[in-house]
Amino acid sequence: MPMYAYKGLGSSGKNVAGNREAETPKLLRQILRKDGVIVTSFELTKGGKHAKDHNATKGGLNKSVDFGGVFGGVKKTEIASFTRQMATLIRAGIPLAEALGALVEQIPNMRLKTAVAEVRANVNEGMALADALARHPKMFDELFVSMVRAGEVAGNLDEVLTRLSEFLEGAQKLKSKIQGAMIYPAVMVFVGAGIMTVLMIKVIPEITQMFSSQGKTLPLNTRFLIGLSQFLGRYFLWLIAGMIAFGFAFNKWKSSKEGKPIWHRFVLNMPVLGELVRTINVGRFARTLGTMLQSGVPMLRSLDTAKQIVGNVHIQAAIEEAKKAVTEGESLAATLKKSGQFPPTMIHMTAVGERAGQLEQMLDRVATTYESEVDTKLSRFTALLEPMMLVVMGGAVAFIVFSILQPIMDLGQLSGPK
């Protein structure tokens, strides 16, 4: 029976190595998998020593291996870093399988490490890189696979991978900017809600308790404040439960087939926020379409993938209509204009690009322009949101203070004869 020297990952995530008899490489992987070992590479040996035979068999992970969430998720930044490193190695003339092997050894994330090891094994067995990557859709999406496939066909895989890494890094930077802009308002809302809750449930009942013994009719605003405080004190937990239930129900509704178009239309029509959302989606669409076309991906497939990148169903529908029109030989710019979902600047630059035969370059310029606009609109949105929140919180505090001070200032009258 053949003897194989293997290397792999143990159940603890540590590298392991050894020798094992097996009739075929497939049986070797199955036997070791039962022992909790995931094979990353193996080589046929004789008597436990490596054979100096040019027909030595090499392989790797079986496609049925799935770690699930045991080792945690894979971040987009890790995918981008892996892509850039692979582009660098391929550009340096290192064979694809060898480049993948080198990356497997230095990837810290165990889940990504395992996936790349499996990709390397599939490539060693003669599978195309794009097909091997497509077996891991949670890490390498359709955009990634389509661009790699186009790079393999055109023979410029290193250029495509470099472009893809830049795209992923840019998308992550944009996401970080949006998240960073929302942190301060979110903290303000959370802190403000906490302060108001403490005031209404703990502080106000203690202060207003003395008013009830005076026997005089309190001002309307003070009575309202006391009633609201008592209501919150009695039903606070029920209110929290109701808000959580409403949140779940709302999220389910806005993700449903009926609710999503209504909600997305409402968001697009909102002042300031609607323009920001539209700019973000248009920028994503232009960047994705331009990047894929530059990499040699066909127009229809590029439109399909770009549509999935966009997060608004109405803009997605406009892209789908554009795809149908392009299939019938119509202009992309003219179809996008009919939808009314795309800004005039983008329509004009797309039309110019189509006429000049430089659509990819024009789309890149459109994406750069709108990504810059996102920064401006984010700053404008947060600049508008912050004072509005301060006004609301200040108004609430002012109402509480006034409602308490008003009867206190008239305390002498309240304590007098009826």
User: Which DSSP string corresponds to 322-368?
Assistant: HHHHHHTT--HHHHHHHHT-S-HHHHHHHHHHHHHT-HHHHHHHHHH
Beta bridge partner(s), residue 41:
7
Reported as a single tens digit per residue, the pLDDT across 351-400 is 998 888 888 889 888 888 888 888 888 877 777 877 888 888 888 888 88
pLDDT over 80 (residue 210): no
What does the mean pLDDT of the chain come to? 80
Residue with tokens 């203690």: 206
The percentage of the chain sitting over the pLDDT mark of 90, rounded to a whole number, equals 5
In b/e form, how buried is each residue of 103-126, taking b as 16+ CB within 10 angstroms?
A: bbeebebbbbbbbbbbbbbbbbee
What is each CA distance from 57 to 3, 22, 53, in whole angstroms?
11, 13, 9
pLDDT tens profile 142-187: 888 888 888 887 788 888 888 888 888 888 887 887 787 778 778 8
- pLDDT tens-digit series, residues 256-285: 888 999 999 998 898 878 888 888 888 888
Q: What is the pLDDT of residue 70?
A: 35
Look at 86 and 55; give whichever has higher pLDDT.
86
Mean pLDDT over 63-90 rounds to: 69
pLDDT-based confidence at residue 12 (cuts at 50, 70, 90): low
Structure tokens given for 352: 């110019």
Say what the pLDDT of residue 183 is.
83
Angle between helical axes of 359-409 and 344-356 (0-180°, round to 10): 170
pLDDT, residue 67, reads 35
Tally of CB atoms within 10 A around 211: 19
Give bridge partners of residue 45 from the DSSP assignment: 3, 50
Tell which wins on pLDDT, 1 or 65: 1
Judge contact between 252 and 339, C-beta under 8 A.
Answer: no
Task: Examine the pLDDT at 211 and tell me if it is beyond 70.
Answer: no
Given this model, what pLDDT does residue 62 score? 38
Q: If pLDDT is split at 50, 70 and 90, which confidence band does 411 have? A: low
Q: What is the pLDDT of residues 214-242, one digit of tens each?
A: 666 777 888 888 888 888 888 888 988 99
Question: What's the confidence (pLDDT) of residue 241?
Answer: 92
Whether the predicted pLDDT of 340 surpasses 50: yes
Residue 72 pLDDT more than 60? no
Which region among 27-36, 45-54, 194-203, 407-416 has the lowest average model confidence (pLDDT)?
A: 45-54
Q: Which ranges of 92-219 does DSSP label H, i.e. alpha helix?
A: 96-106, 110-124, 129-133, 142-154, 157-198, 204-208
Residue 20: helix, strand or coil by DSSP?
Answer: strand
Residue 23 is given by DSSP the state S
Domains belonging to the chain, first-starting first, are: 3-50 (no CATH), 76-170 (1.20.81.30), 174-418 (1.20.81.30)
Q: What are the tokens at 80? A: 């981008």
Q: How far is CA 167 from the centre of its chain?
A: 14
CA-to-CA separations, 298 to 77, 128, 230, 301, 366, in angstroms, rounded:
27, 19, 65, 6, 20
Strands 15-21, 38-46: pairing kind: unpaired
pLDDT in tens, 99-132: 888 888 888 888 888 888 889 888 888 888 989 9
- Please state the φ and ψ torsions of residue 3, each to the nearest 5 degrees: -110, 135
Q: Which has more pLDDT, 343 or 3?
A: 343
Beta bridge pairs of residue 19: 5
Interior/surface letters 237-249, b for 16+ CB within 10 angstroms, e for the rest:
eeeeeeeeeeeee
The label of the residue with tokens 């999220």 reads 251
Q: Which percentage of the chain shows pLDDT scores above 70?
A: 87
pTM here is 0.64
What pLDDT sits at residue 273?
A: 82
> Would you state the structure tokens that stand for residue 382, as one six-digit string?
């947060």
Of 150, 115, 105, the C-alpha closest to 130 is: 150
Please list, in sequence order, all residues whose beta carbon lies within 8 angstroms of the beta carbon of residue 122, skipping any fewer than 6 positions away: 60, 63, 131, 132, 135
In which band, very low, low, confident or very high, does the pLDDT at 44 lie, cut at 50, 70 and 90?
Answer: confident
